[in-house]
Amino acid sequence: MTVGVGDEAKQGPAAPISAPPAATPEQPRTWAGWRDRLVVALGGVVVAVVAVLLASAWQTGLRASTFEQLQRDIADGSVQQWYAAERLESGPLDLTRAQASTMRGDLDETGEGVYLPPKGDPLGGILVWRSWGDPGWQVASSTGVSSRGDDYQEPATEESTAIVGQLREAQVPMKPFEFSEGSWVTNAVSFGGLALFAFLVLGPAPRVGTRWFWFWVTLTLPAASGVLAYAVLELVGIRRRPDRPLDRRISGLRGFLGSILVSMVLLALAHTLRDKGVPLPM
């Protein structure tokens, strides 16, 4: 017969010592985790592309000027290149661009009372030139371009044709015509905008504002500033992407009204800076 000793006899067999809990095995990465990383990467690409386009616009954008300034640059010998354009139109990032004009040929005729330049001279009356020491290209016309909107057209005038003659007498090289000039940039920006819009509509719900809020912001704000805001706040995220949308997101109505107000403020600020001599692109 076994005789217990002390408390062990009263309590019976000793309870087994429980082992420490096993470490939770590392969970494999799920598709949701990769998707979040892809969204952040997309936001980084959007920010980088817009930054490159803005830097390029600073180097190659159009600055409003006058024919008097062009004549002074010709006299100083500082004009590097020039070309003529028939119209100003909106380009990527809502910045103004001027496509090279065609030249008058043997078959180019016009109605009575309308000026037509000599054969071999440009049909456009908007002159664009680049001078040593100045950023980008300068653009001018006989009626002025600083207050003109998009899709402004001006045919050749006697004044513009006379200045073309001065440029040729000074042997300033004319910028070669490029058939695809700017088209690849326009196509790339258009494709990227459509892809971003599709992600806004079909992707996960935004955190800060509703889909309508971001639609108006990205569509209305100038120089792709709304696209930058969407990429930074929603794609890259001020917080981690897995966080759920805020309980009270900014509505589409506020986005519509706010984006119009902010656009007016930014455009007025840009106009003021240009008047003060800051060479902002048009």
What are the pLDDT tens digits along the chain (282 aa)? Answer: 444 445 444 555 555 555 555 544 444 434 456 777 777 778 888 888 888 877 877 777 888 888 999 999 999 889 988 999 888 887 767 778 888 888 776 665 655 566 667 777 888 888 999 988 887 888 988 887 765 556 778 888 889 888 988 998 888 888 765 544 455 666 667 777 788 888 888 887 888 889 999 999 988 888 888 888 888 888 887 554 455 666 688 888 998 999 999 989 988 888 788 777 777 777
DSSP state of 123: S
Interatomic CA distance for residues 33 and 78, integer angstroms: 57
User: Backbone dihedral region of 120: left (phi > 0), alpha (psi from -120 to 50 degrees) or beta?
Assistant: left
**pTM of this structure:** 0.68
Per DSSP bridges, beta strands 87-90 and 152-153 are antiparallel
CB proximity list for 186: less than 8 A, separation 6 or greater: 91, 92
**61 burial via Cβ count (<10 Å: 0-12, 13-18, 19+):** buried
- How far are the Cα atoms of 36, 136, 260, 273 from residue 266, in angstroms, in the given order? 33, 21, 10, 10
